[in-house]
Amino acid sequence: MSAGCLKNYVKWYVTFIYLLGIFLCFWKADFFTQSVEDWVLIYMLSASILLLSYFTIHLPPKDNSFSMDSAIYLASIFLYGISLTINVLFVSIIIELMYKKRVALWKHIFNFSMYCLMIVGAYYSFILFGGKIGEINTHNLFPYMISLLVYFSLNILLMFLFFFFSGQMFKGTFDMGILKEACISYSVTLLLSLVLTILLKEQRFFGLFLFTILVVLLSFAFRKFLYLYQDVSERANKDHLTGLYNHGFFKETLNEYFSDAKKLQQPFCLALLDLDDFKKYNDRNGHLRGDALLQFFGELLKMETKEKKYVVARYGGEEFAILMPNTRKEEAFSFLDRLRKKANDTYFAGVEHIPSRCLSFSCGIVEYESGIYESGELIHRADQALYYAKAQGKNNVQVYNEHNILLDTIQFKEELDAMEQKLKIFLSKDIYTYRHSKRVFKYALEFCEKLELTDHERQTLVLGALIHDIGKIEVPRDILNKEGKLERHEWEIVKKHVTWGKEIIAAEKQFDDLIPLVELHHERYDGKGYPYGLKGEEIPKLARILCIIDSFDAMTTERPYQRTKTFEEAVSEIMRCAGTQFDPFYAKLFTKFIQEKYLSRVHEQPEKYHDNKAVQ
């Protein structure tokens, strides 16, 4: 759905709530038949609501708050009915409109309309479930609870629809912890409303006075405790030297932003910065001056990112990280290149002794895209872009691109030898997996020449093909070599090999590129694979390709628990499953490769798999 459509939807939604709320107000309000004493009560209740609204309690996460004014609306409903309560709402919103001039008019009206809907909903649910207006007894307990539930549900529903139609999602919508806290908060509201109901019944004005004072004092106490909590929490999340966020907070926040970007398909960038020649600066000027330089650079980052509301953290040593939500890579590059130039133009004592004779940093940027399935991969890509920026002579900013990853033939050979050594473990334990991995490696080596891949992608695919089943060394030997069909629990153990494989590979940083292939080569294009059930292009491209090669070899070679297929049958099977199990584009290329390379004598394959529309 386009942004323009979403804006139109939210306008229609807000207008609809306006009209409905105003209609309910004039339908249920009673401005002309109230007694003088009732109007005095209305003004007193309105004043109390405004006072409690002023002492709103701000709760974590940011922009979340809790006001106890709902307790007054509910107590008013239980004791005086709908008309007087709507009058209280009307008076309080008019006064609020006069002194909260910074808040847009449409927000005041929308807020008023929402309250109208919630009050009317709570009132009729109270009546519907047998509640008696003006009576205080235990028989009303169930109607009280239903009334609160309706009030609470309408609030959540109306706000959810607003954020949904405006094309964003309320922060914490998917967080069950926040939902539980909201339920507890509303339960407190119900208890307070019952207390106020009793006080109003016994001592109308004095009871209201006592209640207001009590709640204001409670608000003070809550705010004080929350302030102390936030202060301690802030200190735990900050780096003591630079005052920036620390590594732990960075990882936690990165996961949150990554999850939001993935769910809502919002742009999101990560940048890693590394001060150039910091070791040389330390060696020449001493560690105290080095610490001062880190503090100085931290202050520069804080000052430059303040308006953007980016999250800046000290990643470790002289390395820093910036989280940039709602930011495209072009914007991120522009911002960081300006920052780089500003750092160049900023003198700091001692920089004249390092090679560049100025303060400089190298930076790698990566933008979230659908093929990235976890936040760790973002860090890895940003790190690769940073490494590339260093290799280009330092003092520059690079955006991650598959084409600007450094290639080293010698390093590739070393990594290939290292993979071979790991693979040989299977020789003694599981000869089938050893031979299977060697064949998948061979197919990958041949097939990648037919694909439009970068050199780095080719190397990654080949290495990944060789080592993709490494996790099977954790599977018990009797399961690996079992003749006949596996039991359900045995199959569940075999499926864990992708997770175990990831853990083995992740132990060595140089193999980070291979993690998606090892972990995701059993994901299916239709989302029915494992371990995550990723779908379509959520699965990284190389993992989709490896899935096809791996399956082809598994079908065409003898294995303990499956009948062997001929190459022709396997080609037909892959084409039949294109669009469901396999990526249709690469399935078509792979079967063509097999036909040309291994089935060249067969000029025409059976027509049946050409009926699969996914590959047309």
- Let me know: does 468 contact 419? Beta carbons within 8 Å: no
Instruction: Tell me the C-alpha distance between 324 and 366, whole Å.
Output: 10
Peptide bond preceding 61: is omega within 30 degrees of 0, i.e. cis?
Answer: yes
Residues 61-70: what's their mean pLDDT? Answer: 66
Residue 368: the pLDDT is 92
H or E stretch including 13?
Answer: helix 3-28
Mean pLDDT score of the chain, rounded to an integer?
85
> Which has more confidence, 563 or 160?
160
SS3 per-residue string spanning 460-510: HHHHHHHHCCHHHHHCCHHHHCCCCCCCHHHHHHHHCHHHHHHHHHHCCHH
Strands 311-316 and 319-325: antiparallel
Q: For residues 184, 186, 191 and 195, what is the CA-based torsion angle, rounded to 10 degrees?
A: 140
- What is the torsional sign of CA 423, 426, 427, 432? negative
Among the residue ranges 73-87, 208-222, 375-389, 457-471, the one predicted with the least confidence is 208-222
Residues 353-364: what's their mean pLDDT? Answer: 88
Residue 17 has pLDDT above 80, yes or no: yes
Residue 527: the pLDDT is 92
- Please tell me whether the overall predicted TM-score, pTM, comes out greater than 0.75 for this model: no
> Which has more confidence, 232 or 471?
471
Q: Give the residue from 91, 99, 96 showing the smallest Cα distance to 39.
A: 91
Give percent above pLDDT 90 in the chain. 38
pLDDT tens sequence across 144-161 = 989 988 988 898 888 888
Residue 609: the pLDDT is 47
Q: Give the residue from 368, 373, 381, 374 showing the smallest Cα distance to 513.
A: 381
Residue 247 has pLDDT above 90, yes or no: yes
Cα 212 to chain centroid distance, Å, stands at 40
Helix, strand, coil share of the chain (percent; to 5): 70, 5, 25
pLDDT tens sequence across 324-349 = 998 999 999 999 999 999 998 898 98
Cα–Cα distances in Å, from 585 out to 218, 450, 457, 527, 613? 63, 13, 17, 17, 12
Strands 311-316 and 57-59: unpaired
Residue 607: the pLDDT is 47
Instruction: Tell me the C-alpha distance between 438 and 73, whole Å.
Output: 73
pLDDT tens sequence across 158-202 = 888 887 777 665 455 555 555 666 677 777 888 888 888 888 888
